[in-house]
Amino acid sequence: MENIVLHVDDVHKSFGGLHALSDIDLQVAEGKTHAIIGPNGAGKSTLLNVCVGRLKPDSGAVVFDGAILTGRSPHDINQLGVARVFQTPEIFPDLTVLENVIIPALSKRDGAFALDAWKAMYAEDDLREAAETALEDVGLHGHRQQEAASLSRGDKRRLELAMCLVQKPRLLLLDEPTAGMSRLDTNRTIELLKEFKARGMTKVIIEHDMHVVFSLADRVTVLAQGRVIADGSPEEVRGDPVVQEAYLGGVHE
């Protein structure tokens, strides 16, 4: 029997008269990759923001491995083992690639996020080694002394993954991880995320590229107008006529 590590229970969220999320129920199994898809404005990023504490739902709850996340700060949720990769890479462009990864490593260890934390790299071998290992995992170790701003878009996305990996997350939430990438970079990212899955990492991924979704997902939830319209295996969702009409019509791998 699958162990459910993330449970979104009857979540509602409105902005004024707009119902961004209604009656959202979602269960994510440990070690699986769970994709959330849907047209623009379906509520996908709003749902992730609720999960990581950036938004508070009007009602309902988010539970991670028995801990209620609703009402906690993003920092507290991160300390519980939940990390998020944003749609637009959030890096420190003026620091080196290695320094970018050391900062969240120190934040995770000490519970503070200090912009001058990179100075610890010269005094604390454990932080530097953890950061270099994360960079090796994403294929960026050779760029560790390069200024982060000079990286390609695909490499910036991999850098942000390394910044998450160094925190040793139990749950990784990814918002459009291949957006704007070339097909080559997209395929590299797919292979990288497959490696994370092989290690048993649980992932929730928002993605518009159906090639990415069907390459990675064990389960797919489809949102439309803030509601779940389908949930099942990739094969079940791909063949669902309601999903075809609402979203997948004309979209091919």
What tens digit of pLDDT does each residue of 165-175 get?
Answer: 999 999 999 99
Structural domain tally of the chain? 2
**Domain range spanning residue 26?**
1-81+169-253
Q: Which of 137, 168, 199 is a domain's end point? A: 168
Task: Tell me the whole-structure pTM to 2 decimals.
Answer: 0.88
Higher-scoring residue by pLDDT: 7, 241 = 7
Residue 22 predicted with pLDDT over 70? yes
**Residue 141: predicted pLDDT:** 94
Question: What are the residues whose beta carbons fall under 8 Å from the beta carbon of 44, sequence distance 6 or more?
Answer: 36, 37, 38, 175, 206, 223
Same domain membership, residue 94 and residue 43: no
User: At 180, which CATH number?
Assistant: 3.40.50.300
Range in 7-21, 176-190, 213-227 with the lowest mean pLDDT:
176-190
Same domain membership, residue 189 and residue 206: yes
Sign of CA dihedral 8, 10, 13, 18: positive
Same domain membership, residue 73 and residue 4: yes
Nearest to 219 by CA among 201, 204, 200: 204
Same domain membership, residue 174 and residue 246: yes
Q: Which of 168, 193, 225 is a domain's end point? A: 168
**Residue 115: predicted pLDDT:** 52
Same domain membership, residue 193 and residue 157: no
Range in 25-39, 57-71, 121-135 with the lowest mean pLDDT:
121-135
**Residue 248: predicted pLDDT:** 60
Dist. CA 207–CA 210, nearest whole Å: 7
Q: At what angle do helices 97-110 and 125-138 cross, to 10 degrees?
A: 120
Side-chain half-sphere exposure of 124, counting CA atoms within 13 A: 15
The mean pLDDT of the chain is 88
Same domain membership, residue 129 and residue 77: no
* pLDDT tens figures, 80-136: 999 988 777 789 999 999 989 988 888 777 665 555 545 555 547 788 899 999 999
What is the signed CA dihedral for 253, 229, 201, 89, rounded to 10 degrees? 70
Same domain membership, residue 223 and residue 186: yes
Same domain membership, residue 222 and residue 106: no
Same domain membership, residue 186 and residue 164: no
Residue 9 predicted with pLDDT over 90? yes
Same domain membership, residue 178 and residue 146: no
Residue 192 predicted with pLDDT over 80? yes
Confidence of residue 182 (pLDDT cuts 50, 70, 90): confident
Same domain membership, residue 177 and residue 54: yes
Task: Report in angstroms the alpha-carbon separations of 140 from 147, 158, 205.
Answer: 12, 8, 22
Q: Which of 134, 168, 202 is a domain's end point? A: 168
What are φ and ψ of residue 244, in 5° steps? Answer: -55, -45
Residue 202 predicted with pLDDT over 50? yes
Confidence of residue 243 (pLDDT cuts 50, 70, 90): confident
Confidence of residue 250 (pLDDT cuts 50, 70, 90): very low
Residue 8 predicted with pLDDT over 80? yes
DSSP state of 33: E
**Residue 159: predicted pLDDT:** 94
Nearest to 231 by CA among 246, 216, 221, 217: 221
Same domain membership, residue 231 and residue 108: no
Residue 68 predicted with pLDDT over 90? yes
